[in-house]
């Protein structure tokens, strides 16, 4: 038997108000409707719940037991409503953000800070990984917000362009090509050692496509699993690195690496937001998306 919660609510009101008239008034329905509902509930349960008398009503033993459960049930219902109100009002909850490495390290920090100041009760969790890993985490619903810097080839996700980013060539100040302020041609990169991110990285995918389309014969390829490590390897004198301009802005200013102008070659890419079709975003995710919209044109 499935208990009718509407009838249980009518019974609970009669028990709390010790009468049908007061219960009907509190519920804003007619007294006959309350009486009928309690009779139906008693019929469903096969036991009397209330004893009616000239002084009002009182609970039977069955009524006392049921009233205890009713109070617990409605307390849980109220707690659930309050929890949902808190989430809608962003007074509690967790927001799980995933971003590929460049975005997580160099683009999101001010946005995260702004969100934390506006919604201090929301716990933030940031996962930094390469583009492929972030996409997989969103598909498995382990993230609420996902942002990537490389192309995504899957029908499981929707991709929305967010802002642009430029990849740049960098070399050590001691590298022979660093003394060419006018820049170098693509052909002069032939045979040079190139330092790139690992497969699965958005930076790697975009840089590799640009190199391959140039048609030059590349020299040694060194794969490195972080942007910072690429800057360090290049600063130490090994090869030509390709990274986001945001990654090496400080390193260039400090003189640890030099930006190498390569002909007319400008490598631009789109930083994107990923969405899982049909998934309703949480209030916290909606609030974070508003901040991303505000930052859309800053790149």
Read off the CATH number of the domain in which 172 is found.
3.40.190.10
In whole angstroms, give the CA distance from residue 148 to residue 227.
15
Note whether 186 and 234 are same-domain residues. yes
Note whether 67 and 107 are same-domain residues. no
Note whether 150 and 211 are same-domain residues. no
Note whether 81 and 203 are same-domain residues. no
Tokens of residue 131, six digits: 């583009």
In whole angstroms, give the CA distance from residue 189 to residue 177.
9
Residue 98: φ, ψ to 5°: -125, 135
Q: What's the predicted TM-score (pTM) here?
A: 0.67
Note whether 285 and 151 are same-domain residues. yes
CA-nearest of 248, 245, 219 to 231 is: 248
Tokens of residue 15, six digits: 């028990």
CA-based radius of gyration for the chain: 32
Q: What is the CATH number of the domain that holds 65?
A: 1.10.10.10
Note whether 197 and 54 are same-domain residues. no
Note whether 153 and 213 are same-domain residues. no
| Tens digit of each residue's pLDDT (9 = 90 or more) over 73-127 | 988 888 787 677 777 778 888 999 999 988 999 999 999 999 999 999 999 999 9
Identify the three-state secondary structure at position 18.
coil
| Tens digit of each residue's pLDDT (9 = 90 or more) over 85-97 | 777 778 888 999 9
- Among 36, 54, 88, the domain boundary falls at 88
User: One digit per residue, pLDDT tens: the chain, 299 residues?
Assistant: 678 899 999 999 999 888 999 999 989 999 999 999 999 999 999 999 999 887 779 999 999 999 999 989 988 888 787 677 777 778 888 999 999 988 999 999 999 999 999 999 999 999 999 888 999 999 989 999 999 987 888 888 999 999 999 999 999 999 999 988 788 888 888 889 999 999 888 888 888 888 888 888 878 999 998 889 999 999 999 999 999 998 899 999 999 999 998 877 788 889 999 999 988 888 999 999 999 999 886 55
Note whether 63 and 112 are same-domain residues. no
Q: What angle do CA 194, 197, 203 make, to 5 degrees?
A: 105
Note whether 41 and 176 are same-domain residues. no
**H helices within the chain, ranges in order?**
5-17, 20-27, 31-45, 61-88, 101-102, 109-118, 131-139, 202-214, 227-235, 245-254, 283-294
Note whether 149 and 275 are same-domain residues. yes
- Among 88, 110, 126, the domain boundary falls at 88
Note whether 73 and 104 are same-domain residues. no
Q: What residue numbers bound the domain in which 13 lies?
A: 5-88
| C-alpha neighbours within 13 Å on the C-beta side of residue 144 | 20
In whole angstroms, give the CA distance from residue 55 to residue 35.
16
Say how many domains are in the chain: 3
């Amino acid at each position: 038997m499935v208990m009718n919660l509407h009838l249980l609510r009518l019974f609970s009101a009669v028990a709390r108000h010790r009468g049908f008239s007061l219960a009907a008034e509190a519920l804003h329905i007619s007294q006959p409707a309350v009486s009928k509902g309690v009779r139906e509930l008693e019929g469903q349960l096969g036991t009397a719940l209330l004893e009616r008398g000239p002084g009002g009503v009182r609970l039977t033993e069955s009524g006392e037991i049921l009233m205890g459960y009713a109070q617990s049930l409605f307390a849980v219902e109220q707690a659930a409503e309050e929890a949902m109100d808190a989430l809608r009002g962003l007074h509690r909850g967790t927001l799980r953000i995933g971003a590929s490495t460049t975005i997580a390290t160099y683009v999101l920090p001010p946005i995260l800070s702004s969100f934390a100041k506006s919604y201090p009760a929301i716990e933030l969790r940031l996962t930094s990984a390469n583009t492929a890993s972030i996409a997989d985490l969103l598909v498995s619903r382990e993230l609420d917000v996902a942002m990537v810097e490389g192309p995504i080839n899957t029908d499981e996700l929707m991709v929305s362009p967010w802002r642009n980013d430029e990849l740049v060539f960098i070399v050590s100040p001691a590298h022979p090509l660093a003394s060419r302020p006018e820049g170098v041609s693509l052909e002069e990169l032939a045979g040079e050692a190139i330092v790139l991110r690992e497969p699965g990285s958005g930076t790697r995918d975009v840089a590799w496509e640009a190199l391959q389309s140039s048609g030059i014969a590349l020299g040694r390829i060194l794969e490195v699993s972080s942007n910072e490590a690429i800057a360090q390897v290049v600063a130490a004198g090994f090869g030509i690195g390709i990274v986001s301009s945001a990654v090496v802005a400080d390193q260039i200013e400090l003189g640890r690496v030099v930006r190498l102008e390569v002909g007319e070659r400008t490598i631009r890419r789109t930083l994107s937001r990923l969405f899982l079709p049909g998934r309703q975003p949480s209030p916290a995710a909606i609030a974070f998306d508003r901040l991303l919209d505000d930052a859309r044109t800053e790149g």
